[in-house]
């Protein structure tokens, strides 16, 4: 018996130097919390440059399930009205697809005084703890408890300003507690907060809607409570992780790539690491560029909260380092299981050894990568496989495209603009025959 299923894959033929310029889409990790924040506004919110990625679609469905109205306008504009918000319980079926949906807790608590949101638990890259979120909500006077996999947070008499110190600068907890504190009575001071550009973008959005937040971008954020937030039109920042992925895609082919629509101040750690490898980096007000013709060595990487090296670029950077001469050590300090993609890289010929006890990977290069059928298991690990495929001698076919589509707006189109031979291909796969079908297939030339 055979079981048929429709599968969409990315097929690419490596070995071509990428060159040219491409504009990156808006930031997923800025758009999602800003969508959650729109629940605090009593007028229409217009979000410009929202990326068309499936995580954003899931958040749209979540907001609608809570009573908000969401309309898409053109390709990258969202219009959200939360005037009729009534529901305080976020449905598990949607939340389980999206860790960022936990940001709804702070927004619902601030707006309606109650939130019931499924606990995120874990995901393929590691544990998703919520103790810092809970500590912050409690400090603001909320009652916090767990029941049947949900976190229930209540403050029927409103929240009051407080002084909150985080033991770790969690991006999610900083956002969530900031959202809740916007309507708190009095002043809230958040210490040891995340300084990520996406946190700053959220604060800028809230201020544009009438909030009184200062200190964002430093380690201490101060929030003066206000009575209401109004509607606002806001354009999100460029996606720094997608921009970095495109730059690394160019670098792994030893090409020269410029990415437009991104703030170079968001890329300090990446540009420093690439320079250490001999990649010539340059930038202007809203672009970054990398010419990898002179790449000569690997380098060591330590992921860390911003302005450190971003954990979300760790897999793609590892793929690039696999092609560089010498030994590179990549230490992951943010998530505790973020090396699952390495098995697939090794199948493509990379020499990478993961040291589980130290949450690090040792890469020995330069490897001559070879194309292979591989499978993405998460967004950024999937991007790393695409980037590796660009340097591989033969054809690579990447399954698990649904993960890549969560965070990149048509990655293959951006890469095609830079000269990559890559295309999306869909077909009915008879599972019993899938292996032999792959062996006999050839990829049509593109670009
Ligand atoms: C966000 C980003 C994600 C990025 C990460 C770090 C979104 C949608 N996701 O995730 O892409 O990789 O920042 O830059 O914006 N932790 C605790 N207790 C808490 C909260 C977090 O121990 O209460 C731990 C987590 O388990 C994790 C680490 O802190 O190991 C980082 O989490 P956090 O900074 O909160 O990242 P996210 O907001 O989940």
d(CA 126, ligand 1 centre) in Å: 10
Q: Whose CA is nearest to atom 7 of ligand 1?
A: 29
Q: Does any ligand 1 atom lie closer than 6 A to the CB of residue 129?
A: yes
pLDDT confidence of 271, banded at 50, 70, 90?
very high
Q: Is 324 a catalytic residue?
A: no
177 pocket-lining for ligand 1 (C-beta < 6 Å):
no
Which atom of ligand 1 is nearest to 172's Cα?
A: 38
State the Cα–Cα distance between residues 341 and 374, nearest whole angstrom.
Answer: 10
Choose, from 41, 123, 277, 324, the residue flagged as catalytic.
123
Q: Are 9 and 429 in contact (CB under 8 A)?
A: no
447 has a pLDDT exceeding 60: no
Please report which confidence band the pLDDT of residue 437 belongs to, taking 50, 70 and 90 as the band edges: very low
Query: Which residue has its alpha carbon closest to ligand 1 atom 13?
Result: 171
The answer to whether residue 447 sits within a structural domain is no
- Could you report the per-residue pLDDT of 38-86, keeping only the tens digit for each? 999 999 999 999 999 999 999 999 999 999 999 999 889 999 999 988 8
Q: Is residue 224 part of a domain?
A: yes
Q: Which of 247, 272, 245, 274 is nearest to 258 (CA)?
A: 247
> What is the tens place of the pLDDT at every residue in 156-193?
999 999 999 999 999 999 999 999 999 999 999 999 99
Query: Does ligand 1 have an atom closer than 6 angstroms to the CB of 333?
Result: no
Looking at the structure, tell me whether residues 294 and 421 fall in a common domain: yes
Q: Are residues 356 and 218 in the same domain?
A: no
pLDDT of residue 443: 39
Q: Is the preceding peptide bond at 67 cis, omega within 30 degrees of 0?
A: no
What pLDDT is recorded for position 121? 60
Q: State the Cα–Cα distance between residues 158 and 103, nearest whole angstrom.
A: 18
> Ligand 1 pocket, 184 CB below 6 A?
no
**Distance between CA 48 and CA 71 in Å, rounded?**
12
* Same-domain pairing of 369 and 398: yes
Can the peptide bond before residue 366 be classed as cis, meaning omega within 30 degrees of 0?
yes
Tell me what percent of the residues of the chain surpass a pLDDT of 70: 94
Whether residue 426 sits in one domain with residue 405: yes
Both 360 and 402 in one domain: the answer is yes
Give the separation between CA 446 and CA 444, rounded to whole angstroms. 6
Domain total of the chain: 2
- Nearest residue to 33 (alpha-carbon basis) of 103, 82, 80: 103
Do 225 and 346 lie in a common domain? no
Q: What is residue 1's predicted lDDT score, i.e. its pLDDT?
A: 52
Mean pLDDT computed over 265-280: 98
Q: Are 124 and 16 in a shared domain?
A: no
Q: Is residue 349 part of a domain?
A: yes
CA-to-CA distance for 77 and 25, rounded, in angstroms?
12
Report pLDDT for 120. Answer: 81
Find where tokens 């940001």 sit: 103
User: Does the pLDDT of residue 200 top 70, yes or no?
Assistant: yes
* In a domain? residue 327: yes
At residue 380, the pLDDT reads 96
For 208-228, the pLDDT digits (tens) are: 999 999 999 999 999 999 999
Q: Which of 2, 3, 15, 42 is nearest to 371 (CA)?
A: 15
144 pocket-lining for ligand 1 (C-beta < 6 Å): no
5 CA → ligand 1 middle, Å: 34
- CB 34 less than 6 A from any atom of ligand 1: no
Residue 219 is assigned to a structural domain of this protein? yes
Residue 303 CB–ligand 1 contact under 6 Å = no
Q: Are residues 292 and 304 in the same domain?
A: yes
Task: Say which residues have a Cβ less than 8 Å from residue 58's Cβ, sequence separation at least 6.
Answer: 94, 97, 98, 101
Tell which of 235, 254, 281 closes a domain.
235
Are 261 and 333 part of one and the same domain? yes
Same domain, 117 and 217: yes
Q: Measured in angstroms, how far is the CA atom of residue 119 from the centroid of ligand 1?
A: 14
CA 165 to chain CA mean position, Å = 25
Domain hosting residue 416, numbered range: 2-25+238-442
* The predicted structure's pLDDT at residue 2: 58
DSSP assignment letter at 103:
G
- Do 79 and 118 lie in one domain? The reply is yes
Residue with CA at minimum distance from ligand 1 atom 17: 129
357 and 330 assigned to the same domain: yes
- Does residue 431 lie within any of the structural domains? yes
What is the CA(170)–ligand 1 centre distance, in A? 5
Q: Does residue 381 sit within a domain?
A: yes
Check which CATH number belongs to the domain holding 49 and give it: 3.65.10.10
Would the pLDDT of 126 be above 90? no
Tokens of 251: 């670098």
- Residue 93's pLDDT is 87
The pLDDT value recorded for residue 305 is 98
Could you read off the pLDDT of 388-423 as tens digits, one per residue?
Answer: 999 998 999 999 999 999 999 999 999 999 999 999
Q: How high is the pLDDT of residue 444? A: 34
Residue 140 domain-assigned (yes or no): yes
């Amino acid at each position: 018996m055979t079981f048929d299923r429709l599968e969409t894959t990315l097929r690419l033929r490596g070995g071509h130097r990428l060159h040219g310029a491409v504009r990156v889409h808006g930031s997923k990790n800025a758009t999602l919390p800003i969508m959650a924040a729109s629940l605090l506004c009593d007028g229409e919110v217009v979000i410009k440059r929202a990326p068309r990625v499936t995580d954003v679609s899931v958040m749209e469905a979540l907001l609608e399930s809570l009573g908000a109205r969401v309309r898409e306008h053109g390709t990258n504009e969202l219009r959200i009205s939360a005037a009729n918000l009534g529901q305080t319980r976020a449905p598990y079926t949607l939340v389980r697809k999206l860790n960022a949906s936990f940001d709804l807790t702070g927004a619902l608590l601030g707006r309606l005084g109650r939130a019931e949101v499924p606990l995120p638990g874990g995901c393929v890259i590691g544990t998703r703890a919520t103790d810092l979120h809970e500590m912050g909500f409690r400090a603001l006077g909320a009652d916090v408890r767990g029941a049947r996999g949900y976190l229930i947070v209540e403050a029927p008499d409103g929240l009051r300003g407080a002084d909150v110190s985080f033991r770790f600068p969690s991006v999610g907890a900083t956002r969530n507690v900031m959202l809740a504190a916007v309507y708190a009575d009095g002043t809230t001071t958040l210490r040891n907060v995340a300084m990520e550009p996406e946190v700053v973008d959220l604060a800028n959005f809230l201020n544009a809607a009438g909030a009184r937040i200062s200190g964002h971008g430093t380690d201490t954020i101060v929030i003066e409570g206000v009575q209401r937030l109004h509607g606002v039109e806001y354009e999100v920042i460029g996606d720094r992780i997608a921009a970095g992925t495109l730059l690394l895609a160019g670098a792994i082919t030893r090409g020269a790539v410029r990415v437009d629509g991104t703030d170079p101040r968001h890329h300090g750690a990446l540009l420093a690491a690439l320079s250490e490898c001999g990649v010539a980096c340059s930038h202007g007000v809203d672009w970054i560029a990398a010419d990898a013709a002179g790449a000569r060595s690997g380098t060591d990487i330590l992921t860390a909260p911003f302005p450190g090296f971003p954990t979300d670029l760790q897999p793609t950077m590892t793929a690039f380092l696999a092609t560089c001469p010498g030994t590179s050590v990549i230490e992951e300090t943010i998530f505790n299981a973020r090396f699952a993609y390495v098995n697939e890289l090794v199948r493509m010929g990379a020499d990478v050894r993961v040291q589980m006890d130290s949450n690090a990977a040792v890469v020995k290069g330069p490897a001559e990568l070879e194309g292979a059928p591989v499978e993405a298991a998460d967004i950024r690990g999937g991007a790393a496989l695409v980037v590796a495929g660009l340097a591989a001698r033969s054809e690579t076919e990447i399954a698990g495209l649904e993960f890549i589509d969560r965070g990149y707006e048509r990655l293959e189109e951006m890469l095609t603009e830079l000269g990559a031979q890559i295309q999306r291909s869909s077909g009915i796969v008879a599972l019993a025959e899938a292996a032999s079908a792959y062996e006999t297939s050839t990829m049509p030339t593109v670009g």
